[in-house]
Amino acid sequence: MPRSFSIGEFADELGVHVQTVKRWCRNDDLDYTRTPGGERRIPHRELRRLAGDTRPTDRVVLYARVSSHGQKDNGDLDRQLDRLTDYAHDHGWSVENTYTDVGSGRNEDRRGLNSLLDNIQEADYGRVLVTYEDRLTRFGFSYLKRYFDCYGVTVTVIEDETDKSAQEELVDDFIKLVASFSGKRYGMRSSKKQQVVNTVESAVK
């Protein structure tokens, strides 16, 4: 879990008086949260910021994702990681960690992505490497990028061309959305719902 400090701990780390830290909090010079009991907790990133510590951009982590276990079994996940590793080494960057997921890019509750989001706050990473934007997320890439930016971490997408496997995944995601919405409207087991899904499948495939 990301580390945070009490007012006293933070003051000790910086070598300043407790009242100084309290004043910084009152003046909104420090980012902090409160516990259910009302105690201020200051994240470790604030200590790094005040100490003038910046994250080295040559310390990178890799994130790779495939949509199915079949793709993983076929080696798609390993090929992504190999490509990312080669790219990092070609640029002289040190790979500090890897995060992977098997599942849809629409799914926001991915174990690998959640671990990355948790660790990025405190770990000494300067850059996240992904092959394509939609490997990180199907929707909302710009929001995730802004989140990483807040912690001084750069997201680097190494491929410029369109990922053909991602196009196929997008079609599958679209069909699943159609099935979900039509099921809610006509009933999950209704013939009308299946007719809509079949029509969409024929149109897009």
How remote is the C-alpha of 203 from its chain's centroid?
A: 33
* Torsion sign, CA atoms 143, 110, 100, 55: positive
For 144, residues 6+ apart whose C-beta sits below 8 A from its C-beta are: 136, 137, 155
Choose the catalytic residue: 67, 68, 165, 180.
Answer: 67
Say which amino acid occupies 12: D
d(CA 140, CA 47): 30
- Concerning whether 115 is annotated as a catalytic residue, the answer is no
Nearest to 152 by CA among 115, 123, 113, 110: 123
Note whether 76 and 57 are within 8 A (CB): no
Catalytic residues: 67
